[in-house]
Structure 1
Amino acid sequence: MRVIYLDNAASTWPKPPAVKENMAEVIEHFAANPGRGGHALAMKASKAVFRTRVELSRLFGIQNPNDLFFYMNATQALNQAIKGLLKEGDHVVSSSIEHNSVRRPLEYMARTKKVELTFVEPREDQLYYAEDFERAMKPNTRLLAVSHASNLTGVILPIAELGDLAKQNQVLFLVDASQTAGVLPIHVGEMKIDMLAFPGHKGLYGPQGTGGLYVHPSVDLEPLIHGGTGSQSEAIDQPTTRPDRYESGTANTVGLAGLQAGVSFVLEKGVENIHAYEWKLTKQTIKGLRQIKGVEVYGPGEEVERVGVISFNIEGVDASEASFILDQQYGIATRAGYHCTPLGHRTAGTEQRGAVRASFGVFNTEQDVEALLNAVREIASAFQSS
């Protein structure tokens, strides 16, 4: 039975063939230590890492590739941004859909540094508006930190408007692009984004263990990790030059070479085209699910554009059981539970039961959608008649 993979919000799969090819080339021909030697293989490894920096800068409108720092994932990048910036007495405005990768570092800073937190709620239409974030601002607000889109309902926040708001209030702007990097257009200059955290293994189609953080050149963060950087080795303190200041230890050259291929794939297809295709599948799914008796779909309807993430429940069926049946009996991979976003589930009204989540990538098809709808229809019918 062919696996229908609908868990792309967690990690996209399959990957473009060039991802594997790039990674294999590094392993076979120049898996030396980048930035740690002057010999030919080390220089070749360094160039491979830099090429990835350049491709990502093209994608996100970053002027200087050295303002982009590599981490294992968006979680590490967000921890660097939040813990490296905030001081005692600061206030942060965020949203009520945040993933734990944003919320937990913020809560840690609230507990250890007495940082104040405000989480803005959506309106009755389940959407977020810049003026509500503006009302949450205080004289000591230091940071506006939000997800670009919800990993539970796919709701998209008005990032460009929030960027303007942050600048008007002289507040730094941090965006978690875990669900939107490679899926929605992002330009850090035009959107006035000071810090952008992103994973490599989702919409950028790279391997797991890759991600990064863009930091505007005017923003200085306290490094989260201290150690060897291959530069200024005689100094006892962390280097001041970028990206070395924020990249201690040996880089994941193999993974970053794979990420470069993934980003090139996204640039070639076009972010707008990717989103349009995923939105087409998403609308088809939302419309179909809402026609099945006993199925509840969360988030706005198909008339409101979102990323390719849909969460739902089937009456009388535990979310985990429904996901298990989809996997074992129908070969459809979804994710059930709380999706690392208790804030999001509280906002959606599912904090007591969780939900089943289906999420799309560019390799999914309309046939995949129909297979999901047929499976959910059969499961709902079986439990309603039992």
Structure 2
Amino acid sequence: MSESIIYLDNAATSWPKPPSVQEAMETCMREAAANPGRGSHRMAVQASRVLFEGRKQLAKLFRIANPNDIAFTLNTTHSLNTALQGWLKPGDHVITTALEHNSIRRPLEALRRKIGIQITYAESNSLGVLDAGAIEREIRPNTTLIAVTHSSNLLGTITPVGEIGQIARRRGVKLLVDAAQSAGVLDIDVEAMGIDMLAFPGHKGLMGPQGTGGLYLHPDLELEPLMHGGTGSASESPEQPSTRPDRYEAGTPNTVGIAGLTEGVKFVLDQTPAQIHRRELELTRKLMEGLSEINGVTLLGPGIHTERTAIVSYLLDNVDPAAVAFQLDRQYGIAVRAGFHCTPLGHQTIGTTDTGAVRASPGYFTTESDIVSLIDATRELVLAHGKSHRL
């Protein structure tokens, strides 16, 4: 099945992975699958080296001065929960946006219920484009955090993180960025962009396996750990150690997964995010151009020539998006995603709360032939459903 599938669901998980990712994971399983930081024998030492090499490569990618300011997590959701629950206190005000994934919205709403934080959802325009000024206008005396997605997982729109970072620094507010759709694809420089916390996945643009991710913390920032437990360091103390990254990495890590992630990051560094983005943007625009020529298809979000990540959401007139995705899979072997994409706020913004949407997301290994296949299949589905309505 996987050999014949046309995979256009890279916004969820990138596929295929560079061959070096699988090779690194197999090597780690054979040679370094012991517990890192919890023994002095050679396999434990080698496992520790695997983790440090991963931090080094990520620090290089995101321009982070100290690799130990990166804590490994299971995914972006884990990272965002660590940041939000570790930083926010009762009475704090946080500004986020109407484009956010539930990985930001749900933890914030839980904290509102539990400890009484205040939340403002800054509005974008009806196409999902956000102005940095919309963030600054919402800052209050008790605002302690701005939490924003770098790119919408529904529309591919890019948030002006650099401008927001300047505002945050000037106003004395911390900035948390959700890089689920941008890490490995857009250039990220945490210092130049004023990012205090960066949450990122391993399994999307960084080309690594599922179950990997990380959280960068500015060196001046301290959080209450999300989890407490064994770290292999300061074991005699009943308190979680204060040293990084141990403070935020309780329990045995996914060493094998991080070995794969490291190779994925190396691949990204070799290709460069700029080249990856350019390739994906070309495919995205080709897809949008083809779909826009089909009567009965409505593209969602900003226009074809807007700078964006590789996400194309659309609707077929009078056809449930779930039915479209099902038919694309079963009849044409094309994998897309349908539904609400864990971002009901985004659907409210663009007026699709009643329908959801079909989402196609090309990746670096997508071919032009794959794009043509989706365009042709969509055209056939429009014709088929048009005939059924006329009968």
**TM-score after normalising by structure 2:** 0.98
**Contact (CA 8 Å) 2:38, 2:44: kept in 1 or not?**
yes
Superposed, which structure 2 residues align to 1:1-386 within 5 Å? 2-124=4-126, 126-386=128-388
The residue matched to 1:145 in structure 2 has which SS? strand
Identical residues among aligned pairs (%) = 54
CA distance in 2, matches of 1:20, 1:321: 34
How far apart in 1 are the matches of 2:287 and 2:122? Answer: 29
Measured in 1, the distance between the counterparts of 2:215 and 2:30 equals: 29
Deviation at 1:369, TM superposition (A): 0.7
The amino acid of 2:147's aligned partner reads A
> CA separation in 2, counterparts of 1:253 and 1:316?
48
Q: Name stretches of at least 5 consecutive residues in structure 2 with no aligned partner.
A: none
Distance 2:304 2:323 in 1: 26
Shift of 1:367: 0.8
In the alignment, residue 355 of structure 2 is paired with which amino acid? R
Q: Which moved more, 1:116-125 or 1:278-287?
A: 116-125
Measured in 1, the distance between the counterparts of 2:44 and 2:31 equals: 11
- Compute the displacement of 1:345 (Å): 1.1
Unaligned 5+ segments in structure 1 are none
Determine if contact 1:316/1:384 at 8 Å carries over to the other structure: no
Number of aligned residue pairs = 386
Report the CA distance between 1:123 and its aligned residue: 2.5
- Say if 1:33 and 1:45, in contact at 8 Å, map to a contact too: yes
Distance 1:293 1:384 in 2: 11
How big is the shift at 1:29?
Answer: 1.6
Cα distance in 1 between the residues matched to 2:31 and 2:250: 24
Q: Hey, what's the Cα distance between the residues in 1 that align with 2:377 and 2:36?
A: 49
Q: Secondary structure at the match of 2:61?
A: helix
CA RMSD of aligned residues (A): 0.8
Distance 2:255 2:128 in 1: 41
Runs of 4 or more off by more than 3 Å in structure 1?
none
Do the aligned partners of 1:312 and 1:357 also contact (CA within 8 Å) in 2? yes
**TM-score normalised to the size of structure 1?**
0.99
Tell me whether 116-125 or 33-42 shows the greater mean CA deviation: 116-125
- 1:363 to partner: Cα distance: 0.3
8 Å contact from structure 1 (residues 89, 114) kept in 2? yes
